[in-house]
Chains A and B, each alone.
Chain A
Amino acid sequence: MTTENVTLGADLHGGGPADEQPRHMSQGTFAMLLFLGSEAMLFASFFTAYFMVRFNVANNVWPPIDPVTGKKYVLPVAVTGVNTLFLVSSSFTLWWGEHRLQKTGDRKSLERGLLVTIFLGLTFLVIQFNEYWHLGFSPRDQAFGSTFYSLTGLHGLHVIVGLTLLTICYVRSRRRHEFTAERATVLWASSLYWHFVDVVWVILFCLVYLL
C-alpha cells in the first residue's frame, strides 16, 4: 500500500464529514430503511410460525376445523378486501402530498394529503377492529387463531405506529412550518414506514386470507 499526498486546504476547516461527502440519502432515511429490514424480519418470524402451523395442520384442512362447532373457521375475505383497498389508497394519498411538496413546495397540499392518509388509516383500523369483534374465534382457539391474531395484531400495531408518525409530521408541518422539497427527512422516513406497513398488509392479505 502506498501513501498519498493530500492537499490540506481551507475546505477542511469547519465542515464535518456530513457536509463534505454529498449523499443522496439522509442518515434518517437510511436508518429507516435498515429498521424496516428489521421489521420485515419480525413479520417473517411470525409468518414462519404461521406456515409451520399451516403445513402441520390435521388432514390438510385450512382454515382448520373448529372443534366446538365442527365447521371450518371462516375469514371475512370480502370486507377485508375492501379494507385493503382503503389502506392501499392511503399510500397514494400520502404519495400525492409528498409529490406536491417536492414539485411545488406546496405545504398545504402536503398537509391535506397527510390528513386524508390518516383518515384512511383510521378507517382501516376501525374496520379491522370490527372484524375482530365479529370473527367468532379468539387467539386461544387453535394455533390457527394464535397465528392469525398475532400476524394481524402485529400489523395493527404497526398501523398505529405509522399513524403516530404521520400525525407528528402533520403537527410539525402545521405548527413549525417544517419540511421543504429538499429537507424533510422525518417526512420521508415516516412515509417509508407507512408504505412498508401497506406492503406488509398486501402480502399478509394474500397469504392469510386469499391463499
Chain B
Amino acid sequence: MATHAPTHAHTDHGPGHHVEPKPLGYWWKRAFVATVVGVVLALGVTWFVRWAWGFHPLWNAGVYWTMIFIFAGIGFIIGIGCFDWWWDYLRGRRVGFEDHSMHGATSWKDYLRPNTDHKVIGIQYTVLTFIAFVIGGLYAEGVRAQLAQPGEQFVNGQTYNGLFSMHATIMIFGFVIPVFSGLANYVLPLMIGAKDMAFPRLNALSFWLLVVAVALLVFAPAFGVFTSGWTAYPPLALQGTTGTTMFEIAIQFAGASTIATALNFMVTIVTMRAPGMTVWRMPLLVWANATTSALVVFGTPFIAGSQIMSLTDRVMGTNFFNAANGGDVLMYQHVFWFYSHPAVYIMMLPGFGIVSEVIATFSRKPIFGYRAIAFSTVAIAILGFGVWAHHMFVSGMASWIRIPMMMTTVLIAVPTGIKIFSWLGTMWGGKIHLKTPMLFAMGFLVTFTIGGLSGIYLGTLTTDIATHSTYFIVAHIHYVFFGGSVMTIFAGTYYWFPKMTGRMYNETLGKWHFWLTFVGMNLTFFPMHWLGTQGMPRRVADYAPRFANVNLFISIASLLMVAGTIVFFYNMIYSWAKGAKAPWNPWRGRTLEWMVSSPPSLFNFDLTPQVVGGPYQYGIPGARHAVVFAGPELGGGELTETDKRLVLIVADQAVASPALIDDIRRRNAEGYWRFTYVVPSTVDDHRAAERRLQTALAVLSESGIDANGTVIDAPPMQVIDKVMREENVHEIILTTFPLGSSAWLDQDLVDRVRKATGIGVTHVTILPSEARATVASESVARVVIIANYGIDDVGLAALIQKRADEQPMSAIVLCPLSLEGPSTTPETDAVRAEASGRTATLIARLQEAGIQTRGEIIDGSVTDAIKVARTAHHANTVLLATRPGDRIEITEDITAAAGQMNLEQVTTNGQTSTPSGASEGR
C-alpha cells in the first residue's frame, strides 16, 4: 500500500472506494459455505485423480483427510474474504490500490473479519494467541496431574503422550511464535513512523492463516490424538492417525502465516521508516524483528519440508524415512532442527527487543551498548543456523559433526551474554521504576540467564550425553521459554496495554501476577534440573518412586502459575473494559508509538514524523527522538511531547503567588520538567480558584514553562491519589500557609502525602500576604483602580471580577487622599484610617475572588495617583471609580499623566454591602 493516504476519513479517497460494509454474518456464512465446498471439492478431486491414475484402493482415508483439511482451510480463508481483492485483480477488474474498505475497527465485530489495519490485526493476533496459551496451559496441567504421583493417575501412556505433545505444539506454534508477530504488528509500524505495514492485505491473510492453523491444532485430538511430541520424529510420527495429519497441515498453515508476516515486516522496516530514522536510530525492537524475520523467511521452509515428507510417508507410502527402502530417518532430524534451532531464536529475539524497550524506559537511562545489542542480535541469528545438530548428539549421526556443533553452540552464549550485560549496564545507576513491565523484564533477566547456563551444559557434548532426554532438558526448555519468551511477552503486553486498548491496567494486580508467576515458575522448573541429573526421563508417563516427592511438589507449585494467569486475565479483561483512560505516554517512553494518542488514530500519524535522534536518550536534557506533527484540521504544528518529567504542584490560595512562581522558574531551569497544578477545592464556587490558576498559568507560559492545571472538586489527598493513578508523577510540590494558619498542615497533609505516594514531596510555605500579592508579568494585565469614596462598594468589586474573567489580571488599588495642611494631625489620621479601611475591604474582596491584589493610600490628587500607577506599577489600564452622581473631571493634567495607559471611568452602585453580606468579614 502506498503510504500517502490522508489519515482522517475513508471518504476522501475518491469515488468507488466507499463501499457499504457488509454485516458480520455475511462473511461468516460465506466462510461456512466455502469450507463445505472445500470439503466436497477435496473429496471429488482426490477421487478423480485416484481413479484417473488407476490407484488402488480408490478409498484411502488418510489421503482424503489430508486433502479435506487443506481444501477446507483454503476454502475458509477465501470465504471469509481474504482473497476478494485479489480475485478482482486477477480477473482484470478495476481495483483500488487505496481501497480502505476493510481498514480499521469501530466495533468488536470488525475484529471478527479480515481487517487491513495493523492495529486491528495486532489485537486479533494477541487475543487469539492468548486463547491458545490458555488451551496449552490446560494441557500442561494435565501433564502435571498425571505426574503428581508415580504410576498411572488419570490417563494411560498413550493419552499422556498426547497431552505433552499438544501442550508443546500449541504453545510453540499457537502462542509464542505468533504472539510476538501480534505485538510487533501493533507497535512496529508506529515505532518507525509508518501509517501501516507495507502489505496490509497480506497482513490480514497472515492472521487468517493462523486461525486455520490454530483451529486444526485445537481440534486435532478429536481425530485421534497426536502423540509424537512437538518434534514429531519418524518413525514414531509415522504411526500417527488423522490427528497427526492435522498437526502436519497446521504446521503448513502456521508456517505460511509466519513467512508472510516476516516478509511484511522486512519490507516495512526497510522501506517505510520515517525520514531521519537511520538504522542506528531504530528502536531495538525493530532490530529484533528485522532479524527474526530473516530467520523466519530462510528457516521456516525447512520445517514445512520435513512435515510434508513425514505426511506423504504416512498417508501416501513414500519412503523418505523408511530405511528398508533406502530412506533415512536421521535426515528428518537434520531438516527439522535446521529450522527448529533457529526457531528457538524466532521465539526469543523479539522478546529481547521488548526487554530492551522496557528496561531502557523504566531505568530512565540511555540503553547501554545500543550497537552491541543490535549486532549481537544479528550474530545470534547467523550463528543460529550453524548449531542444529546439538539436538542430535546421541542420535547416531556422523560423529565428526559433534565437535564443530558443540563449538558453535557454546559460541552463541557470547552474543547472548553481551545482551544480558548490556541490560544490566542499562539498569546500573538508573532510576528504576518498578512497574509491572519492568518487573517482568527483570524477572526475565534472572530466569533466562539460568536457562542459558543450562544450555551451555547441554551444548557441551559430554554433559549432554548424560542429560539428553531427561528432565534436565525440560528444565532448560522452560527456563528459556517460560523464563525467557513468556516473561517478555508479559512485559510487552503490560507495556503496550495502554497504547493498544487506551486504558490502564491495574498495577497492583499486575504485581500479583508477576510474583505468582515468578515464584511459581522457579519452584516448578528448578527442581527439574535435579530430576534430570538423577535420570528421570522426559516424555514418560510414569517414573521411579524415589522421584515422587519432588514431582508432587512441582505439580503443586505449578498451581501458583495458574493462579497468576487467572489474575492476569482478570486484570486484562477488566481493565480493557473499565480501566482508567490511558494518557498518550504513561511511561514517558521516547519511541514514536508514545507520541501519538492511545489508541492511535486510524492511520497513526496525520503527517509523517521527522526523526531527529536516537530512541533512548533518557535523561539528556533537550534530546529528542522525533517530532510529530498535527494535521491541518488541528491547526498543524508540533504535537506536544510529554516526555518531560512531571512535577505536581498542589496549592490552594497560594496558586499564583509570586514566591511560588519564582520557585517553579528556578526548578524549571534545572532540568527537563513539566508542571501540573492541581487545586483541590471543596467550596461550591470554583471561580476564585480558577482565576488564580489562570493567572499562574499565564505567567508560567510566558516564561516558557510547560505547565497546565485543573481545579478539582475534592479534598487534597483524593486529588493527589487520582492524579498519581493517571500520570507518572516525579515529584510533588505542596504549598501551604505556615503552621497555625493552614488547615492542610493541621491535617498533617505533608506527611500523609509522603507516605501515600512514596515519591519526593517538597513543602513550600507561603505567607498569606505573599500568597495574594500581584505578579509582574507581561501576560497578566495590570489594572489600577483609583477610587476614594465608593471604593468599598460591592459594585466595584463585582465589576473588576468580571474583567478578571476575561483576561488574567492583577489589581492595584490606589486611594488618593488630598489633605490640606499638616499631614499628621489627629483629624488627618482619622481620615486616613477610614480610607485605608475602605481600601482594605476592596483588596480583601478581590483577593477572595482569586485576583492577585495589592493597594495603598496616596497622599495627593487623582493626578498623582495616576502618575504612581504609571511609573510604579506599569499599569495597562486605570479605572477611575466614583459613586453615582460624582464625576472626576478629565483634565489636561490627567490625560498627560496617564500617557499610554487606558483610562476608564466607572461608576459603582453605591452599596457598601450585598443584601446578604456574604463576602463581608471573611
Contact = CB atoms under 8 A, between A and B. Distances in A.
A116 B458 CA distance: 58
Nearest to A178: B92
Counting chain A residues whose Cβ lies within 8 A of the other chain, the interface size class is: 35 or more
Contacts of A123: none
B312 A146 contact: yes
Contact of A31 (B263, B317, B612): B263
Given A34-B267, A34-B297, A18 B92 contact: no
A23 interface: yes
Interface string B324-359: 011110110011001000000000000000000000
A58 B271 contact: no
Contact of B3 (A16, A49, A147, A175): A16
Q: Which of A3, A19, A23, A143 gathers the greatest number of chain B CB atoms within 10 Å?
A: A143
Given A48-B334, A176-B94, A143 B327 contact: yes
Contacts of B328: 49, 52-53, 56, 143
B272 interface: yes
A53 B326 contact: yes
B513 interface: no
A59 B766 CA distance: 100
Given A17-B193, A20-B275, A171-B90, A143 B301 contact: no
Given A49-B305, A49-B320, A3 B273 contact: no
A8 B276 CA distance: 12
A104 interface: no
B167 interface: no
B195 interface: yes
A73 to B, nearest CB: 11
Nearest to B195: A16
A190 B2 CA distance: 20
Contacts of B320: 49, 53, 143, 146-147, 150
Contact of B271 (A27, A141, A176): A27
Contacts of A39: 301
Given A15-B608, A49-B331, A52-B334, A145 B273 contact: no
Contacts of A58: 326
Contact of B608 (A17, A37, A48, A49): A17
Contacts of B266: 30-31, 34
Contact of A1 (B263, B309, B623): B623
Contacts of A57: 326
B469 interface: no
Contacts of B4: 14-16, 18-19
B492 interface: no
A8 B627 contact: yes
Contacts, number: 187
Contacts of B270: 30
Interface string B702-720: 0000000000000000000
Nearest to A42: B301
A31 B260 CA distance: 10
B327 to A, nearest CB: 4
B199 A41 contact: no
B274 A45 contact: no
A139 interface: yes
Contacts of A130: none
Contact of A48 (B2, B267, B322, B331): B331
A149 B53 CA distance: 15
Contacts of A44: 301-302
Interface string B100-123: 000000000000000000000000
A31 B198 contact: yes
A174 interface: yes
Given A3-B624, A31-B198, A146-B320, A13 B607 contact: yes
A64 B272 CA distance: 53
B622 interface: yes
Interface in B264-317: 264, 266-267, 270-276, 297-302, 304-306, 308-309, 312-313, 316-317
Nearest to B615: A1
25 contacts: A1-B614, A3-B623, A12-B275, A12-B610, A15-B4, A16-B608, A17-B3, A17-B193, A18-B272, A27-B271, A31-B263, A38-B263, A48-B331, A48-B335, A53-B320, A53-B328, A56-B328, A58-B326, A139-B318, A143-B318, A145-B318, A146-B312, A147-B320, A150-B309, A174-B92
The 3 closest A-B CB pairs, nearest first, are A45-B305, A16-B3, A175-B92
Given A1-B620, A3-B623, A31-B198, 18 more contacts: A1-B614, A27-B267, A31-B263, A34-B297, A37-B297, A45-B304, A49-B320, A52-B328, A53-B326, A53-B328, A139-B312, A145-B318, A146-B312, A150-B308, A168-B89, A171-B92, A172-B89, A176-B92
